[in-house]
Amino acid sequence: HSLSARGMTPPVVVRALGSALLLLGLVLCLPTAAARKTTEPPEWTVPKEDTDSPYGSLWPLPQTVRFDGECYRLNQGRFQILHSSTSTATVGCGILDDAFRRYFGYIFSSSYRTTHRRPVSSGLETFSQLVYEDDYDTHLINKTDIIDFPRFTHRGILIDSSRHYLPVEVILQTLDAMSFNKFNVLHWHIVDDQSFPYQSITFPELSQQGAYHPVTHIYTASDVKEIIEYARLRGVRVIPEFDTPGHTQSWGKGQADLLTQCYNGEEPSRTFGPVNPAVNTTFGFMTKLFKEISRTFPDDYIHLGGDEVDFSCWRSNPTVKQFMESHGFGTDYRKLESFYIQSVLDIVSANRKGYMIWQEVFDNGVKIKPDTVVEVWMESNVKRELAKVTRAGFTTILAAPWYLDYVSYGQDWVKYYQIYKVEPRNFTGTAAQKKLVIGGEACLWGEYVDGTNLTPRLWPRASAVGERLWSQENVTVLGDAYSRLTKHRCRMIRRGIPAEPMFVGHCAYEYKG
């Protein structure tokens, strides 16, 4: 957006992509300490509590920020955000109408706790971060010129609702926090081995048998709709992941003959392997299921998984072996995997969806369409993998350094995994290759995470990823980041997000549980 204040006062300008907005109800006031020149704080290994960023609490840092001495008081009774005459959007644009109202609340409410559950709609985040209060609760903003846009287009959070069921409330809270940190993709790893909480209209037995509980631990059509709409109003795409052919144990409970029967020698054992690609029923099932999924999730992309396929069960099954022979695959089970994946990709393409896949699908030589997005997750050889994938011309997103389910003592956003400092384009390749890295994802896998601890484990650690994916490449000064992020963390708490502390200190409004 391009926001500007008109009328009695010189303009506060926040220029960004999108529509033009007008601010009313600002009155000129005296300059304050917050209007300072940019200085570069010293760099530390582990940030301390006592530095202060010249950029206040801005997070992620916009592309360019210029303050000057003037500030304005915001008159709550008269303050309005309006569409300017140059805007292509008008009253009635749901996303902006909702965002205006929501951010009015964020700007003026002294505590957002009571209303945090379901505020309406996203945007204006930067503007709201510029507003501060003096000791008499007057809301102030300094004259500021900001030009802003994200460095990467894909800024995702992965949540996993299979290892533990995540209540809808927790997912909505995650979407709120994502909008505060300018993430724009919810990668919803919705089903996996452990449970199948997605309630399919076409195949209701999948959740009936495969969910932890068929009533309380599922996502109904209306739950999914609510989550998608809540996300849409906050500028967040929802990309569901239906991971096959591995990671599908829970699918087998409600869909007979979908999984491969494993054998002990001549005898069927009591275990099942990946999806069985040797029978036609599998593809009939997938066609119907992905047709439904394509309609339920409006985003242009579906994540098809494809990671960690174990060949041992396929190897043991006589039908699969016969299928291998008749298709001339020999004993190369990667060819069988490729056959399966290509069939699924064709099914999804027929529904006019693009797809994302985990890196193994590419690594194993599966033929994938040119517009496939390859997600790199393996920690070893990240740089080589990025080079390989982009050399082959594929778009890629980076997840490997940002597995936030891995926790360690202390400020791990700057330690071991280098959550904050990882540079996604730091690999050997041409400029064209670098451009193919379109973003990344902070992944919170669910083995040790549910509604009790998801939010404090994700925030503000994911905020570090958020700034890496949004701000300029050289925005890497830890002391400055620490100063802004501690304030941003307190703002998140004030807006109802129990983001955990980064180090000793306090917030004016603490989270009370």
The residues that are catalytic are 308
Q: Given the complex with a second copy, which of 198 and 394 has the nearer CB atom?
A: 198
> Which one of 97, 145, 229, 405 is in contact with a second copy (CB under 8 A)?
405
**Token pair for 375:** 């997600």
Q: Is 388:396 a contact under the CB 8 Å cutoff?
A: no
SS3 55: coil
> Which one of 18, 167, 214, 354 is in contact with a second copy (CB under 8 A)?
167
> Which one of 108, 212, 283, 339 is in contact with a second copy (CB under 8 A)?
212
Distance of alpha carbon 26 from alpha carbon 96, whole angstroms: 20
Check binding of 499 to a second copy (CB under 8 A): yes
Check binding of 44 to a second copy (CB under 8 A): no
Q: Given the complex with a second copy, which of 52 and 450 has the nearer CB atom?
A: 450
Site string for a second copy, 319-358 (x = CB under 8 A): ----------------------------------------
Residue type, 219: Y
Q: Which of residues 181-200 bind a second copy (CB under 8 A)?
A: 194-195
Check binding of 493 to a second copy (CB under 8 A): yes
SS (H, E, C) 106-119: HHHCCCCHHHCCCC
**Token pair for 31:** 């300059």
> Which one of 42, 94, 448, 473 is in contact with a second copy (CB under 8 A)?
448
Residue type, 16: A
> Which residue is it, tokens 């980041």?
481
Check binding of 379 to a second copy (CB under 8 A): no
Q: Given the complex with a second copy, which of 10 and 501 has the nearer CB atom?
A: 501
Check binding of 506 to a second copy (CB under 8 A): yes
Q: How near is the Cβ of 110 to a second copy at its closest, in Å?
A: 12
Q: Given the complex with a second copy, which of 386 and 478 has the nearer CB atom?
A: 478
Distance of alpha carbon 417 from alpha carbon 402, whole angstroms: 8
Q: How near is the Cβ of 111 to a second copy at its closest, in Å?
A: 11
Q: How near is the Cβ of 502 to a second copy at its closest, in Å?
A: 8
Q: Given the complex with a second copy, which of 333 and 377 has the nearer CB atom?
A: 377
Q: How near is the Cβ of 513 to a second copy at its closest, in Å?
A: 5
User: Binders of a second copy: how many residues, by CB under 8 A?
Assistant: 45
Number of residues assigned to the chain: 513
Q: How near is the Cβ of 22 to a second copy at its closest, in Å?
A: 37
Task: Give the DSSP letter string of 287-340.
Answer: HHHHHHHHHH--SSEEE--------HHHHH-HHHHHHHHHTT-TT-HHHHHHHH
> Which one of 293, 389, 449, 469 is in contact with a second copy (CB under 8 A)?
449
Q: How near is the Cβ of 454 to a second copy at its closest, in Å?
A: 8
Distance of alpha carbon 32 from alpha carbon 21, whole angstroms: 26
Site string for a second copy, 50-79 (x = CB under 8 A): ------------------------------
Q: Given the complex with a second copy, which of 229 and 500 has the nearer CB atom?
A: 500
For 360-384, letters b (16+ CB in 10 Å) and e give bbbbeebebeeebbbbbbeeeebee
Q: Is 14:124 a contact under the CB 8 Å cutoff?
A: no
Site string for a second copy, 217-256 (x = CB under 8 A): x---------------------------------------
Q: Is 460:492 a contact under the CB 8 Å cutoff?
A: yes
Distance of alpha carbon 322 from alpha carbon 400, whole angstroms: 37
Q: How near is the Cβ of 13 to a second copy at its closest, in Å?
A: 35
Helices (H), 18-167: 94-108, 125-130
| C-alpha triplet 492, 23, 154: angle, nearest 5° | 45
User: Which segment (221-229, 278-286, 368-376, 449-457) binds a second copy by CB under 8 A?
Assistant: 449-457
Check binding of 214 to a second copy (CB under 8 A): no
Nearest to 389 by CA among 442, 340, 438: 438
Distance of alpha carbon 332 from alpha carbon 342, whole angstroms: 16
Distance of alpha carbon 511 from alpha carbon 52, whole angstroms: 23
User: Which segment (18-26, 166-174, 256-264, 371-379) binds a second copy by CB under 8 A?
Assistant: 166-174
Distance of alpha carbon 505 from alpha carbon 463, whole angstroms: 18
Q: How near is the Cβ of 74 to a second copy at its closest, in Å?
A: 24
User: Which segment (162-170, 264-272, 299-307, 320-328) binds a second copy by CB under 8 A?
Assistant: 162-170
Distance of alpha carbon 203 from alpha carbon 281, whole angstroms: 14
Check binding of 165 to a second copy (CB under 8 A): yes
Q: How near is the Cβ of 418 to a second copy at its closest, in Å?
A: 16
Q: Is 117:497 a contact under the CB 8 Å cutoff?
A: no
Distance of alpha carbon 509 from alpha carbon 424, whole angstroms: 35
Sign of the Cα torsion 211, 217, 222, 225 reads: negative
Task: Give the DSSP letter string of 412-432.
Answer: TTTSTT-TTT--TT-SS--HH
Q: Which of residues 427-446 bind a second copy (CB under 8 A)?
A: 446
What DSSP element (H or E) covers 372? none
> Which one of 455, 463, 471, 483 is in contact with a second copy (CB under 8 A)?
455
Q: How near is the Cβ of 63 to a second copy at its closest, in Å?
A: 31
Positions touching a second copy (CB under 8 A) are 163-165, 167, 169-170, 173, 194-195, 212-213, 216-217, 405-410, 446-453, 455-457, 493, 498-506, 508, 510-513
